[in-house]
Structure 1
């Protein structure tokens, strides 16, 4: 969350522990989204990359996930000032000296290792940084949602580091560099300054004395931000972090297999008793719901085709239920299922559960449509000049009087029996009790489910 959001939280540790940054402080800079530290080491970029492009062969600047002395950078003013204690402020031009190698951070018009359109970040010796490369070592501090003259602070002062001559933002990503960079993250200059992944913050100030007055905390006033502004920021953050869950998992699955229940998720096993909990769902109910989704789509297509040919096979009431009631449930299924095809995150079968619930509603509505018998209305019960029946409630006994519901009851009984039977058959996998023999496990591998204890 942005510092502005966090300042509305009374017990927020990040805001409470923020410390003002002074010039000549040694700082550790951390990327907000990947949690990688700005890092450098004596190794050089290779002269030529795998795609044939050449580098400057300068000192590598990378992103490193752990605390390390090579993450320490001294923040230096553009104009040397012997007076210590001057605070760094928003929009200040600064230089960053890598403490361990005594070199200065620099960006220039050389392509980065992975992105030909992004600038390389490297460091240069102090004699070059004070000479003809001076301008290339200038960077601007831009605090997110900051005001002119606002003090730059650790933890809460999220910022973008803008290379002053070229106006690119320091940026990193999670794709690791090759072995020559020890699989660390690439740091480069991003031309898209508005991109939210350009944001960094100062994680620590290793050089600050423990008795510094800057560490003395004063009572903080909790700020107020409009509710909708906080709500939209929270939604954006949730969507981003949810979509960032991209690591692999042995039981992850793709959306196209969910309606067919091709595999489940193993939650728990007990070797000595051969017990296991395997999230699968009831295959009978699952396949019935999925198949009736296709039946519904077929009925809609057939009705539309018939209407185009001048054949009206449905009465007004039946069509209204088919398109409005059942159609609403079908739309709910689609809205809860289809967006997963646009996601790049790690997915599991349980992500289909809301859509499966909607498909069960489609099943009930469609079965009611198929087996329902409309009451026969005489002329007295029809509104004159209208095809629709009057809005008058009729008791079920009167509405269905004299009609044979045997088929409806038989279908309902068959479906309920099959669903209960499927639930009972897979009960040992659902609740993890009792343990199953090899033959019993094999009997439940209907579609080759990857169950344990099958041997």
Structure 2
């Protein structure tokens, strides 16, 4: 970069806080009288976040009014254009596209009020259900993948309601660029890149969570920039308003998907840096320091947590009937749902009862077995924990081998503390068994298997029942008989002395990725993963009991569901035995190595291909590299006593760069580290790309649009080339988002990279 006079001259290092005097801009009324910034950036932004300024004559003439509201007018134009791109042909595909099969189904559960389970928090899915309810959907459709929508399912209206979140991204991008102090050229470029990226466009036009996730992240970043511009007016109404809205944004984005924690981390790092600077301000009193801390804790920690918890509370209130996700929750919670079968359960457990046994650790499942053997160890029948209800979860409580066999006509013998039992798997008649063989995953524990049958067994089939307590009767001393649902107990192996345990270790594909069950030698009475309760109970000799009066604590249910969500998400790891043709590696994303077919690819099907605008994606990725190189060069020049720029320019360069680079890194790097399956939409539908867009505009702004040496005409030409390239590539690839009809091979010119699987190659 050529050295310039004034701010970029070589000379002795200026004193701290010094600002170059050359090229100082006018302020006040003189500055505001210029309607076109001519590419000027942060120098012309007033302090305190008041981006839209008056000249003292507001409203006196139409011209004054136009000048005052020019930015809003431009924002309105971009909003109208965004409505067109998001709504055009939005109902063209009349079949269930891609993940509409999941999120449309969740809307059905909400409308029917059936409890379900999913790995994502509930806010986004509740908004999908709200869109369905507003559109008149009655919950009668199953949303099977690829199935055609019936006439009574208002899928187009549902898509339009949800696409509104995608529409809002465009004006938010425009205003965020303004608040970041970018030049007018760069602000237009940000808005155009958000408007014309076909990846964001495509993913915003269906019944998905992605448009909501993107909206709340972009909204949170916008609030961050607004709050930053209020730094000179702490504790003013505007300061409190944007701090509170930023907290609400954090709460909402984490309530849509847990990846919202990444933008929460961005806000957190900004806040730590801000408070650290204030800590070094000797003019600030201790009371003011405490007030700043309390304000941020209240708005950025307490408020988002309350929003997050409130979403789950509403979730539980709506889903008050039994449904397909019951087994993920505690037995006590299931008993509170309408329509559950626990009303048919006898209360007291007896020998001869057929039961399902629930692990009480957070995220615990049902004790399970199936006619498949361990490939290592004993090679006996597997025992696992399973989170869905089926017949393989049923066990018969029987006496020891040396005792008289269970007599269904004999006296009833109720199960009590310290009773020794056999647990016989009802479907295969094999007995739950343990022996000094290492468990398949947790090698320090003993393997638990099923062995023998109804006539063959040994002393390794014996388990001692130890009562912990009861939800209604209290401590063990008050528990004379073991009750279904409410009694917590442990199973100690009589020979080995170990305790039956199910935690978060997942078996490989040969164990159907179910949770490992083992026998832990250590006796830890506080380990809830060794706690069990009887859930389903069948015994025709005992009368049913009314469990309707049972209550399940909300905070425990809230924590239980979140742990189950986390465990299920962690289980989404690549299967080495199967090839997922849709999966991609995070290193494939920034330069669009791969795309994703969102639907069937037949000649008579409407085809959607998830790929980005090449100029936006490639330019954004390149700008991150250029930005880091530029920072290193500037630091080296400054170390050699060159003036790179004045203090205000340098502060602005670092501020925008940190928001963009740190935001991009926080959203991208975790996907490299984590072991779960990844797809290209994890880049397109997450805000990773948004931060790359901000960086792209920032680099162009720094080197071109805000340059003091380039003439205005050159800046206009550069902007025209960039804007034209963005708009032109959008127009070229618009079909992948609006839908491609007919044979795909007839649509030439879309294969810009050989790795894209757009065409049907023989």
How far off is 1:418 after superposition?
0.9
Contact 2:354–2:394 (8 Å) recurs in 1: no
Matched, 1:62 2:383: yes
Matched, 1:174 2:507: yes
How far off is 1:355 after superposition?
0.7
* TM-score, length of structure 2 as denominator length: 0.45
Residue in 1 that maps onto 2:738: 431
Contact 1:105–1:124 (8 Å) recurs in 2: no
Q: 1:127 to 1:85 in 2, by over 3 A?
A: closer
RMSD: 4.6
Residue in 1 that maps onto 2:661: 330
Q: 1:97 to 1:437 in 2, by over 3 A?
A: closer
SS, match of residue 341 in structure 1: helix
Q: 1:435 to 1:29 in 2, by over 3 A?
A: same
Matched, 1:28 2:362: no
Matched, 1:189 2:519: yes
Q: 1:274 to 1:7 in 2, by over 3 A?
A: closer
How far off is 1:416 after superposition?
1.5
Q: 1:111 to 1:319 in 2, by over 3 A?
A: same
Over alpha carbons, which structure has the higher Rg? 1
Alpha-carbon separation, structure 1, partners of 2:691 and 2:585: 19
Q: 1:323 to 1:185 in 2, by over 3 A?
A: closer
Matched, 1:95 2:421: yes
SS, match of residue 213 in structure 1: coil
Alpha-carbon separation, structure 1, partners of 2:690 and 2:346: 51
Residue in 1 that maps onto 2:4: none
Matched, 1:220 2:546: no
SS, match of residue 565 in structure 2: helix
Q: Deviation per CA, 1:31-64, whole angstroms, max 9, x where unpaired?
A: 78696753377x9989xx5xxxx75x8x645349
Contact 1:28–1:202 (8 Å) recurs in 2: yes
Residue in 2 that maps onto 1:370: 703
| Matching of residues 45-194 of structure 1 within 5 Å | 55=378, 60-63=381-384, 67-68=390-391, 71-74=394-397, 76=399, 84=412, 86=414, 93-98=419-424, 105-112=432-439, 116-122=443-449, 123=451, 133=459, 137-140=463-466, 147-149=474-476, 161-163=491-493, 165-171=496-502, 173-175=506-508, 187-190=517-520
Residue in 2 that maps onto 1:302: 633
Contact 1:5–1:225 (8 Å) recurs in 2: no
Matched, 1:257 2:588: yes
Residue in 1 that maps onto 2:187: none
Q: Structure 1 or 2: larger strand share?
A: 1
Contact 2:330–2:557 (8 Å) recurs in 1: no
Contact 1:439–1:454 (8 Å) recurs in 2: no
Contact 1:23–1:85 (8 Å) recurs in 2: yes
Alpha-carbon separation, structure 2, partners of 1:177 and 1:329: 44
Contact 2:384–2:516 (8 Å) recurs in 1: yes
SS, match of residue 268 in structure 1: coil
Alpha-carbon separation, structure 2, partners of 1:251 and 1:315: 49
Contact 2:620–2:695 (8 Å) recurs in 1: yes
| Matching of residues 382-397 of structure 1 within 5 Å | none
Residue in 1 that maps onto 2:729: 422
SS, match of residue 566 in structure 2: helix
How far off is 1:278 after superposition?
0.9
Contact 2:335–2:342 (8 Å) recurs in 1: no
Matched, 1:404 2:707: no
Alpha-carbon separation, structure 1, partners of 2:662 and 2:723: 25
Contact 1:255–1:340 (8 Å) recurs in 2: yes
Q: Deviation per CA, 1:213-254, whole angstroms, max 9, x where unpaired?
A: 32x42542545545xx66555443332222222355321111
How far off is 1:111 after superposition?
2.9
343, 349, 352: which one pairs with 2:683? 352
How far off is 1:371 after superposition?
2.6
Q: Structure 1 or 2: larger helix share?
A: 2
How far off is 1:203 after superposition?
5.3
How far off is 1:450 after superposition?
1.1
SS, match of residue 436 in structure 2: strand
SS, match of residue 735 in structure 2: helix
Alpha-carbon separation, structure 2, partners of 1:68 and 1:363: 57
Q: 1:136 to 1:420 in 2, by over 3 A?
A: same
Contact 1:20–1:87 (8 Å) recurs in 2: no
Q: 1:327 to 1:23 in 2, by over 3 A?
A: same
How far off is 1:365 after superposition?
2.6
Residue in 1 that maps onto 2:564: 237
Contact 1:157–1:201 (8 Å) recurs in 2: yes
Contact 2:465–2:490 (8 Å) recurs in 1: no
Q: 1:242 to 1:160 in 2, by over 3 A?
A: farther
SS, match of residue 678 in structure 2: coil
How far off is 1:290 after superposition?
0.9
Count of aligned pairs:
408
Q: Structure 1 stretches of 5 or more lacking a match?
A: 376-401
Q: Deviation per CA, 1:165-218, whole angstroms, max 9, x where unpaired?
A: 53343347432559xxx999875324576777767664533x422x8432x425
Contact 1:175–1:185 (8 Å) recurs in 2: no
Residue in 1 that maps onto 2:302: none
Q: Point out which structure has higher relative CO (alpha carbons under 8 A, 6+ apart).
A: 2
SS, match of residue 433 in structure 1: coil
Alpha-carbon separation, structure 1, partners of 2:574 and 2:364: 14
Alpha-carbon separation, structure 1, partners of 2:605 and 2:529: 47
Contact 1:18–1:155 (8 Å) recurs in 2: no
SS, match of residue 409 in structure 1: helix
SS, match of residue 312 in structure 1: coil
Contact 2:439–2:448 (8 Å) recurs in 1: yes
31, 35, 38: which one pairs with 2:368? 38
